[in-house]
Structure 1
C-alpha cells in the first residue's frame, strides 16, 4: 500500500499525470541459464502481480489520447513488447489475460513465419555450438571459450556489441559466417507466425509496427528508414484489416539509434505515437513520438517498486522536431 500511495503522489493524473511504460521482449517457457534475467512465465506472472497492486494498466493508444487531453488517470502504466517473438503469443498472452491487462506488441514484420533476427542467429549459434572454443579471429571478432553458460553469455554479448552498429549488409555477412563457423542448428520458430499476431489482436492486445528488418534507423538513409517504417505498418494493416497507429524505434536510444527526423517521418506516415527505449515517464508536455519506456529487473517486489518510483521522477522533456 505504501508503494501504491507513493505512486499516486508522483503520478496523480490529469494535468500532472505521468505515463510509465514497461518494455519486454520475451517470456520464456523455462529460465534460460545463459540469460537468467530474461523473464519466464512464472517470473512474468509475478511481475504483473506487483504491477497490478500499484498501477492502473491501460492500453497504449488510450494512454496516448488521455495524455494529450490532460486526462491521464493516476498511476497510469502501459505494457509493451518488442520484435515479435513467438513466446509473446504462446506464453505472455495467457498471463496478461489472467491479470486482465492489455499490452502492445511491436512486430518487425520481415521475420514473421520462419524468419530470425540477426542477433538471434548469433545467440543460437553460440548457444548450440558443441566446441569448447569459438574462434572468430578470421572475422576480426576474437576467440571465446564457451564451455559454460556464463562464458557463452559473455561471448554473445561481446560479439553483438562489436557488430551491432555495422552496416546491415556487412553485419549480415559476418553473422552468417559466425553461424557457419559454429556449425550449430538454428531455429526457424523463434518469431511469430502471422496467425499468432492475429491471435494476440483477437485476445484483446494491440499490435504496433517495428519496421520490416529491425535496422538501426540512424545508420540508414531517410528513404530506407521511411520504407522500413511504412512497410511494417502496411504489412500489419493488411494482415489485421485495421489501422496500426503505434510504432517502436528499433533499439530505441534517442540520438543514437534513431534521430529527431525519424520522429517526423513517423508522424508523416500516419502513426499517432511512437516509443523509444529511453527511461523515464511521459507528461502531458511530452513528445508523443518519443515516449519513454523502462523495466526494472529486480527480483523482489520492494526493489522493483522502488526502481519504478525512481523512474517516475525522470521526466522526458518535450523535444523539438
Structure 2
C-alpha cells in the first residue's frame, strides 16, 4: 500500500509555526490578545480599503483559530486575574452595533466555532445612525468634483476620486470628533441639511439582532447610549450614558451585562481615571480600551488593551499578533 502523500509545508507556513512557538514563551505566555473590529462588510469598500470584508474576516478567524486559544472575553478576564490563562489566549470584540455584525460576522464566527463580544451603543439601534456614518454617507453620495462646505466652517474638499473622498471624510471626522456631543450632533445636522441627501437607515442592528447574537452564545457588552467622548462630558452625563446603555441591553437580552468598552477608547484622551472608577462602580466585571498591546497579570481589568490586525497574509497577521503580545498597553 502506498503511503499517503502530504504536501511539503511552505517556507511561510514553517516560519509561522516557529513564530507561534515563540508566542508561548516569556511574557507572551501569560498575555491576552484582544482583537477589535467594527464592521464586516459584504464586499470591500473602496473608500475604506482597510475595513474588513467577509472574505478577509473569514481568513482572519481561520488564522486566529489555528494559532491561538480563542475564548470569551468575560472568561478570559477572569482567568487573567486568576493566573490560569492558557498560552496565546485571544478574544474577538466588535464595537458600536452594526447590523453586519449579526448578518455577516455571526455566521462566520459560528462556522469556526468562535465566540465574540459585541459592544453596543444603544441609542443607534432600530433605525438610528452614528454621527460619523452620517458624515461618511454624505461624502460618499455628494456630487463631485468638489464638496464646498466653507460657508459652514468646514472648508472645500476635492472628491473627484475614491482617495479624495476618503481624505475628505477623515478631515471632517477629525474636525467634529472632539466637540461636545450635543454640539457635534448639531453640526452634523447642519451638514446634512446643507447637502440634502438621502441616507441609509439600516446600518445599525435592531433589537432582534442583538437578541440573536445573545441567543447564539455571544456576549453583549455596553458601549454607552450615544457613543460620546466621555472625557468631554461632566461626571453626571458620563454616568447616565454608561448606566443607561447597560440597563437597556440588560432589559433587551434578559441577562447581566458584565463588560464595557470606552467610546473611542484612547486612555487619557477619550476617558480618564474617573470613568474607570465609574465602570467599576456600575457593576461591570471588566472594561476595554483601544490602547494597543496585550493584557498581562499586572493589567488593570478595567483598561484591557485591544488592537486591530489589518494584515492580509497569514505570516504578517501572525507577526502582528505576536508583536502585540510584548506590548503592555497604555492606561490612565
What TM-score results when the alignment is normalised by the length of structure 2?
Answer: 0.93
1:91 paired to 2:142: no
1:26 paired to 2:42: no
Counterparts of 1:279-298 in structure 2, within 5 Å, are 279-298=292-311
Report SS of the residue matched to 1:3.
helix
1:232 is matched with: 245
How far 1:12 moved relative to its partner?
Answer: 5.9
Using the alignment, how far apart are the partners of 1:310 and 1:12 within structure 2?
9
1:172 to 163, 174, 185: 185
Counterparts of 1:54-93 in structure 2, within 5 Å, are 54-93=67-106
The list of structure 1 runs, each at least 4 consecutive aligned residues, that deviate by more than 6 angstroms after superposition, is none
**How big is each residue's C-alpha offset from its partner over 1:253-295, in whole Å with a ceiling of 9 and x where there is no partner?**
0000000110000000000000000011111111000000012
Larger gyration radius, structure 1 or structure 2: 2
1:9 is matched with: 25
2:52 to 19, 30, 39: 39
The question of whether the paired residues in 1 share the 8 Å contact of 2:28 and 2:326 is answered with no
2:325 is matched with: 312
Report the CA distance shift for 1:88/1:45 in structure 2 as closer, same or farther (over 3 A). same
How far 1:173 moved relative to its partner?
Answer: 1.5
Using the alignment, how far apart are the partners of 1:130 and 1:195 within structure 2?
36
Using the alignment, how far apart are the partners of 1:2 and 1:8 within structure 2?
10
The question of whether the paired residues in 2 share the 8 Å contact of 1:111 and 1:213 is answered with yes
Using the alignment, how far apart are the partners of 1:11 and 1:205 within structure 2?
29
The question of whether the paired residues in 1 share the 8 Å contact of 2:92 and 2:117 is answered with yes
Report SS of the residue matched to 2:55.
helix
1:201 is matched with: 214
What TM-score results when the alignment is normalised by the length of structure 1?
Answer: 0.96
The answer for unaligned runs of 5 or more in structure 1 is none
The answer for unaligned runs of 5 or more in structure 2 is 1-16
1:120 to 124, 127, 133: 133
The question of whether the paired residues in 2 share the 8 Å contact of 1:34 and 1:152 is answered with yes
